[in-house]
Amino acid sequence: MGRGPLRIAATAVLGLSGCVALAACGDGNAVQGNREVAGGEAARGKAILTANTHGCGGCHTIPGIPNAHGTVGPPLHGMALRGYVAGRLPNDPGNLVRWISGPQEIDPRSAMPDTGITTAEAAHVAAYLYTLRDIPK
């Protein structure tokens, strides 16, 4: 009986570590790296995409945005998980905002034009895109 508390503690530790491990596995879509966009508000980004002021949804399918069913550019599912932006920039907040606000400076051969979106708006849009973690299976 003297070993009781020890056993309980050991079980608890094992159990807890099991939970942690499971939690880590359960989130198969683990985000690598920083996804915090300075000055970006996801709700405002969603509003910008919904208004479609810059035509984003004309080319991209964007989860959660009505009428954003474009097939001209890549779909933006799981943007929080993507390794690269535009096939060349490591996916981090700085690069994503740079790409959204001025793709032609990064890749003049890209079909994505400079839409005139401001850096501040691009930060909001990036913040929204980083809420997207589901990839259709």
Residues that bind another protein (CB under 8 A): 50-59, 69-72, 104, 108-117
Residues near 33 by beta carbon (within 8 Å), at least 6 away in sequence: 90, 91, 92
Question: Based on CB atoms, which residue is closest to another protein, 47 or 135?
Answer: 47
Question: Based on CB atoms, which residue is closest to another protein, 92 or 110?
Answer: 110
Instruction: Please state the closest distance from residue 35 (CB atom) to another protein, in A.
Output: 24
d(CA 91, CA 93): 7
Question: Based on CB atoms, which residue is closest to another protein, 50 or 131?
Answer: 50
Instruction: Please state the closest distance from residue 47 (CB atom) to another protein, in A.
Output: 10
Instruction: Please state the closest distance from residue 86 (CB atom) to another protein, in A.
Output: 11
Instruction: Please state the closest distance from residue 114 (CB atom) to another protein, in A.
Output: 7
Residues near 35 by beta carbon (within 8 Å), at least 6 away in sequence: 80, 93, 130
Which tokens hold the place of 33? 């790296």
For the chain, state the CA radius of gyration.
20
